Amino acid sequence: MDSELRRTISHSTVGSSASQVIQTSEDVHVHRRVFIGPMPEKLVSGGAAMDQEEERDLSQLVKNTAYRFFLLGGGNPDEWGESNESSVREEMLSKWRESDWGAVWSRKIAASSTGPDQKWVGSSFEVGSFLGVNVLESMEAVVSARSSRKGLSDVHLPLILEDEAEQLPSSALPVEDSTAASAKETSVTAPFEPNASTSSRPPPASTYEDSKPFVTASTSLLPPLENGAVSGSSDGDNHSASSVTALLGRPAAARNRTSSSKAYPDVIPRPIIKMPSFVKSDTLTSSKSKGKQKVHYAEPVLTPIPNPSAVPDQHPVAPEEVLERCGEAVEETSAGAMATTAAYADSDDEWGDVIMRDRMLVRVSYTESESLEPQFDEYQHRMTSGLRHENWAEFMAVWRKDSIELYEDYTIPGKERLTGHKHLAFVVPLKSGRTRLSLYSFADLTFCITCPPTPTYNGTSKSRAFFHIARAGTNIFVFKPKNRSRGQDWMWQLWRHIGGQVPPMIEVRNPTLDAKVKIDVPTITTVEGYSRMFTRTNVIALCLQSFRKVPDWKEAIEREIGSGKVLELAWRMDTNLDWVWLEDDVYGQQRGWVVLCGLAFKQAHLEIRLGNHYPARIAKPLNHGDTGTEDPFYHEPPSIEGYLSRIKPNTQLKQRVYMTTHDGNLFTLPTSKAHPPSPFPIRETENYAQKLNKREVERGALQILDAIAVADLRSIITVRRAFQIVPPHTHIEVDPSGTPDRHGDANSSWMNVWSQSSAEESSHSDDEDEGGEDAVNKALDKPHLRMKRSFELLLKNGHVIRFECYSRRFALEWINRLRSLVSYWKLRHRADAKDEMDVSAARRSRLTPKLHVCDEGEDIPPTAPPDPGAPLPALTSLYNWCVLEGCKTIIRGGKIHMRRGLSGQFKLVQMILVSGSLCLFRIKPHSALYNAKHKKVLLSDAYICSGYFAALALPQGQYDPDSNSVPRHYQDGLEADDPEEDTLFVIWYRPHSDADAVPSLSAKHKLVVFRTRNKLERDAWCWALNTEIERIARAQRDKEKKLRDTGRLTKLCL
């Protein structure tokens, strides 16, 4: 089990190349950690024995960080040169060898080390910090992060106009935009990108010949009229409202270069917008009806634009030559790659060839009615009576041109070997006029197909006769693919196959600006054409060009983009977000429909938002009393970890433990499974920051998996220094966080408590304590010294937990850092609960109306009704990119009610999602710490089901759809009255002992039922779990391919 967990962690982190993103401004996306105290000698002795090669790695790291060390020391950038660099590097090496950990390094390197090994060595250090330089924030990491999201690194740079670019040097310095159109709605035509392949992986360095062309089409800058018409001029002439121009291109100074020996400049120029010229055009035909003109767009002109980052080594190839390539000349280019990834539904497959094939969790139902709603979702399912259900099970779903076949294992052992194929259980006809496709649940991307009963090719069992040979009625199939992206692929391909049409216009909305862009869709006959046109990069570039005319653009968006944030596309339905982030499928082929697949969801709409990571700061309240010089934010303190001794209150015995914090949780580990950080630089000097960040995420996940207990930092009232020789069992302190300050703000009161000076707890004798047992043996008052080395955690349930540190100085460091963490995470959870309530109010009215500060004579304004289309900027924090990119140890965590199996009572647990696994900790009211459950939930072969689909899995009598929902109020202020089925989700998984084994369809599985506080919380959990399952599946593609391909199919009769 442990080896499988660790393998899953390694696979899931490797599969997320985008986790290297580090932002570079006021909201720096770096997770700081501090190791407190010394470390056992035996843990660092092996890692410190450095050979000559590792000494060279140290020298290379010093060279890479010398410039930042020079700046941090107050150096002038203009004075940086070879002489200064040499002296700075010598100074850094000298300081490193003189430091505590550098001395350990040097002692172990020396061949004639005569000093005896110490039991504890070193002191506190910050992970990733080298001589005060945080390597995770290095400039090399910043440059690499800008290209980690393919197609967005150049889009998010500030845009300039082409006429301004003509006067700029090749570096394309920033220029203020003088245009200030006030359009709230803009109509544009999608650019055409032929034979382009976009991927989340950064592109390799290429020459001008094989660089990917980026081509655009018309962009309208006039106010759109009905049916795409534009207003005419006074003289009756037809003026074109479009121009065929490149959205992203290089400045004229760079384009005019003809010398093939000269390399392009290292500075990537900003994207350029060429303003459209209003000239006569043959692409317009006048329409005299009602004074309007119809705009008919000509075929887009293909204008290849070279990659600015490419460094050519030969003369650029002419665009005509590129477009005329064919046959073998295309195979090694991006055009050739695109030609091999045509849409499945448009391929020239013969009748009976397998188009798509996947394992899915399927629930089959039958009703005698033939008048079901075309959109049969979980709400319609709940309202439909008289249904006959089959128990949900895992089937092999195979699409063979005009039908979907569902296969299962034979109940008789060995029959599959005799027949040569699996048992065909159900057939879904796609050519029937009564077949309907609909999205069943957006939360877990479950889709439904309703169709007439259809017989199978190999006979019908009596128990399933009404599914196959009934003359009337409707079969209902609810499909749950394991991967969310695979569900999108199935829905898109089926939707296109049964006649779904791309609309003539696609609307993209930006909720921050409350503006939208309408993209006119040219008439294209193949899905491949749409795929080349509606790439993620193309759509974002069009939106960027259009939104620059909105007055609030600079303040709301451009400033955020300049600080390192990136605009991303997302499909939104109600309060759910589905980011457009995976541009290749499970086979590694391009998903050209990644942007358009949301059209099959019908009710979803496309948005462009800032893809934020989980916030690392909290805004101070407006009445905090700042004078303008203080920082307006509370910043997240560094996490801490280190070795401690827990003092048991009854026996006064010591228990050696390792304590570490992750996202507001305090974990306790046995010292044998501590996984401490390395105090020495890692060996890999290339992409140092990314590799170190990846190692820290993996190390943190292993710590949580091996933790024996956890405490929520919100459950800690105070952290104090021990003042009694004998530790008390309980306390009577009151939590100060609930007491409001003079402004009525409880949050501010809590921060003020811990911002007070703690000088009364420190003394000069604290620095005189050398630490360790030797100092205790020399002390005259040994109990008093041990007491001074200890600190206590006072919990809300009245318990007191005492820990003893290596020395007094380290005890003070633990106290001060823990206090900062406790205060911050109490505020963080309260802010998250407030955001959650604001988002929930968009779909359901508040149970308790907001209180307004009004005079007695004024009327209180009425509460606004729920608005499902509200901008809801807090959604980007709830559905943050840390979950997608796996850049944090804890993907998601929180308290939740769970039940193993279908019987028993729900129990409150602390559930934490890490790479590949769910860790569960039991919460008991009178327990000092939450003990870990021995069994983890592995997600490598799991399905997530929610809502009514999950409620149907409960035994009869446990779920009543007609019961009234009870209003609930929680301690953090969250209020909810969602019905029971909206708070349920189920994990259907197999606890494999062999990670590489391929289980059969009928293999035993386990079920875990979870109940959240409200629907929004449930949807966020489902999204995070499905994202992690997606990441695991893509990291182990060979196993997933075996799962899909195992089992033969029946032969079709012509």
Q: Write out pLDDT tens, residues 333-389.
A: 333 333 333 445 555 556 668 999 999 999 999 999 988 988 999 999 988 988 988
pLDDT of residue 805: 95
The confidence band for 924, taking pLDDT boundaries of 50, 70 and 90, is confident
In terms of domains, do 443 and 552 share one?
Answer: no
- Give domain status of residue 9, yes or no: no
Least confident interval from 205-214, 494-503, 997-1006: 205-214
Q: Is the pLDDT of residue 934 over 60?
A: yes
Domain co-membership, 997 together with 931: yes
pLDDT at 532: 82
User: CA-CA distance, 528 to 740, in Å (whole number)?
Assistant: 61
Residue 973 lies in a domain: yes
394 and 291 in a common domain = no
pLDDT band at 630 (very low <50, low <70, confident <90, very high): confident
Beta strands in 704-765 (DSSP E): 709-712, 716-721
Enclosing domain of residue 918: 880-1043
Between these two residues, 326 and 662, which has the higher pLDDT value?
A: 662
pLDDT higher than threshold 60 for residue 965: yes
Residue 86 lies in a domain: yes
pLDDT 10s digits, 405-444: 999 999 888 898 899 899 999 999 999 999 999 999 999 9
Burial class (CB in 10 A: 0-12, 13-18, 19+), 477: buried
Q: What is the DSSP string of 593-617?
A: TTTGGGGGGSS-EEEEEE-PPPP-E
Co-location of 448 and 486 in the same domain: yes
Per-residue pLDDT tens digits for 839-878: 888 777 777 766 655 545 556 566 666 666 677 878 888 9
pLDDT(910) > 80: yes
1012-1038 b/e with 16+ CB inside 10 Å = b? Answer: bbbbbbbbbbbbbbbbbbbbbbbbbee
Judge whether 253 lies within some domain: yes
Q: Regarding predicted confidence, which is higher, 114 or 525?
A: 525
Question: Is residue 238 very low, low, confident or very high in pLDDT (cuts 50, 70, 90)?
Answer: very low
pLDDT of residue 46: 54
Q: Distance between CA atoms of 740 and 734, rounded to whole angstroms?
A: 13
Is residue 365 located within the same domain as residue 252? no
- Percent of the chain past pLDDT 90, that is, above it, reads 34
Retrieve residue 310's tokens: 């490419």
Residue 652 has pLDDT above 60, yes or no: yes
> Within a domain: residue 779?
no
Q: CA-CA distances (angstroms) from residue 636 to 116, 757, 885?
A: 41, 19, 20
Same domain assignment for residues 177 and 75: no
186 shares a domain with 301: yes
pLDDT in tens, 32-55: 999 998 999 888 765 444 455 667
Burial class, 720, CB count within 10 angstroms (exposed 0-12 / middle 13-18 / buried 19+): middle
CA angle 855, 858, 864 (to 5 degrees): 110
Q: Other C-beta atoms within 10 Å of 577: how many?
A: 23
> What band does 907 get if pLDDT is binned at 50, 70 and 90?
very high
- The answer to whether position 635 is within a domain reads no
More confident residue, 452 or 146: 452
For residue 761, the model assigns a pLDDT of 64
Does residue 473 share a domain with residue 574?
no
pLDDT greater at residue 902 or residue 224: 902
What CATH number has the domain bearing residue 439?
2.30.29.30
- 476 vs 764, residue with greater confidence: 476
Of 564, 585, 610, the domain-final residue: 610
pLDDT score at 51: 53
pLDDT digits (tens, 9 = 90+) for 308-334: 333 334 344 443 443 344 433 433 333
Q: Report the pLDDT value the prediction gives residue 391, as an integer from 0 to 100.
A: 86
Of 12-16, 121-125, 668-672, 807-811, the one with minimum mean pLDDT is 12-16
Neighbours of 941 (CB within 10 A): 25
- Give a yes or no: residue 195 inside a domain: yes
pLDDT at 318: 45
Residues 332 and 370 in one domain: no
Residue 134, pLDDT above cutoff 90: no
Whether 883 contacts 613, CB under 8 Å = no
Which residues are within 8 A (CB) of 277 and not within 5 positions of it... i.e. 6 or more apart?
240, 243
Average pLDDT over residues 292-300: 34
Total tally of structural domains belonging to the chain: 4
Quote the strand ranges of 786-887, DSSP E. 790-795, 800-804
Is the pLDDT confidence value at 897 over 50? yes
Write the pLDDT tens digit of every residue in 938-954: 998 899 999 998 988 88
Residue 623 has pLDDT above 90, yes or no: no
Residue 718 included in any domain: no
Residue 655, pLDDT score = 94
- Do 528 and 571 belong to one domain? yes
pLDDT of residue 687: 76
Which residue among 480, 499, 518 closes a domain?
499
Domain-terminating residue out of 471, 499, 527: 499
Mean pLDDT of 196-207: 38
More confident residue, 643 or 417: 643
Structure tokens at 1014: 């409200």
- Predicted local confidence at residue 17, as pLDDT: 35
Note whether 890 and 923 are same-domain residues: yes
User: Is the Cβ–Cβ distance between 556 and 512 less than 8 Å?
Assistant: yes
Q: What is the pTM of this model?
A: 0.79
Beta strands in 663-783 (DSSP E): 665-670, 709-712, 716-721
pLDDT of 632: 86
In this prediction, residues 660-675 reach a mean pLDDT of: 95
Beta-bridge partners for 470: none
What is the model's pLDDT at position 1030?
95
Same-domain status, 205 and 219: yes
Mean pLDDT of 994-1010: 86
Average pLDDT over residues 193-213: 37
Report which of 1049, 984, 1043 is spatially closest to residue 1013, judged by C-alpha positions.
984
Least confident of 226-235, 692-701, 797-806: 226-235
